[in-house]
Structure 1
Amino acid sequence: MSPNALIPSHRKPRRPSASSRALRAGVTGGFLTLAVTGATVPANAAEKPVAETQEMPTITTALATSAAKSADTAEQVAFNYERQALQDSAFSKAAKAAEKHKAEAVKKAKAEAKKKAEEARKAKEAAQARASRSSERSTLSAPSTSTATGSTATLVSFLKAQLGKAYVLGSSGPSSYDCSGLTQAAFNQIGIDLPRVSQDQSTAGTQVGLDNLQVGDILYWGSAGSAYHVGVYVGDGNFIGAQNSSTGIVERPLNYDMPTGAVRVL
């Protein structure tokens, strides 16, 4: 036996520390549970529960997935709104462009129609003018219904007898004539005294229209009172006159050289 076996120890028994605790953890119903138990309980805390429990929420996979889906949905809605706004803007611009194009097309069509109408009007007027001139020429070149009788026949007979004679300026026959010399000599055959020059002969009688000519009417070229040439209408759409030094005295149709007017002295 050891000599010290009966000697009591002076060391006090070691007591557990009041602050010493055991930690127990667990997951219950989606919450983290922490249980803390003390090794010793003070005397005045005998009524308190042995374990103190604190629950903390934890983020589960389902919750994270739900939050991600909500974010995606919000982003999709925002994208849809933006896309719709862009589409509406594009449609509005397209509609305005279409309206502008339509207005320009209508304006252009009206201008083209107006231009064509104006061209048609001018063409119609030109056709009417040509038809009028053609009708007038046909009337003037048509055979006369008047028959030379009496003094008229004598006048035409004298003029035809001078055909082929020379044209000489200032001459009044009998071998050559100028235009007014020939008409003066012809009317002298039937007792009518005409002025000598063509200017005065163009106002010697009553003015008549070229569409109402009779045999014996004096034709003139130029204006009345200042005519530069004269001849005599002999019927059948023809006239006789001393034309020029190249042709002499000839018979020609009216449309060979249309006169300006005519006077009637018979």
Structure 2
Amino acid sequence: MSHTAHIPSHRKPRRSASKVALRAGVAGGVLSTIAVAGAAGPANAEPVTETIEMPTLTSGLAGTVAQSAEATQRVAFNLELNAEENAAATKAAQAAKKARAEAERRAEAKEKAEAAARAKAAEAAARASRTAERTTLATASGSSDSGSGTVAGTAKKATTQATGSAASVIAFAQAQLGDAYVMGSTGPNAWDCSGLVQAAYRQIGVDLPRVSGDQSTAGTQVSLSNLQPGDILYWGGAGSAYHTAIYVGGGEFIGAQNPSSGVVQKSLDWDPPSGAVRVL
């Protein structure tokens, strides 16, 4: 027995002769039928020329496309219009906000200016009232007892003794009576001792140093027994003084003393100075 006897063959199985004959007969019959039908038909038959028209969709599609394009343009236009309206509204809101802020700023500035004007007017009225009271008191005291040696009497006497630049210095100092004492202040409503002295002399064109120690050596040293109105009094050593004031005559001086008393006019006996300098 061959060793390949059990291996199946891979070739196509051959068709049987009967199947081939059957298929040939069927094909021949079909061809014969067609031939017979052709022979049986009219000899002069015309070819079929009828054309079947397909429905035309082009015009409808074009209309739909046109409508779609128009709708798209309309949407785009509406979007652009809305964007412009929103931008205009935002710009108007910003302008209104800026205008409101500016109006508020101006109103606040006006209110501050009015408040400052009212305060200044009140201060001027208070100062005028103090000056009137001092004038009335000085006049009354001078009429009743011109030689009594009271503060009012000596103030009146000092005013009459001072002349020229000294009188202007003293008048300025007397106008500040009642003002507050604040360390480091130079007016117009609060002073320290050297700030008041400097301001009184500055308004007649004399530029004094700012601090007491320097003011105590700014002029010619004079004896306390030979004082004249307008002399600068100092407390402490010359060059190291800690306090200064203005001699107004009649044994009186005006100075910004301390926070509790402010600017006052006092007798030399109330607080005897250490020395004096003359600059006029």
Larger radius of gyration: 1
TM-score normalised to structure 1 length: 0.46
TM-score in terms of structure 2 length? 0.43
Structure that is richer in strand per residue: 1
Please identify which structure carries the higher helix content. Answer: 2
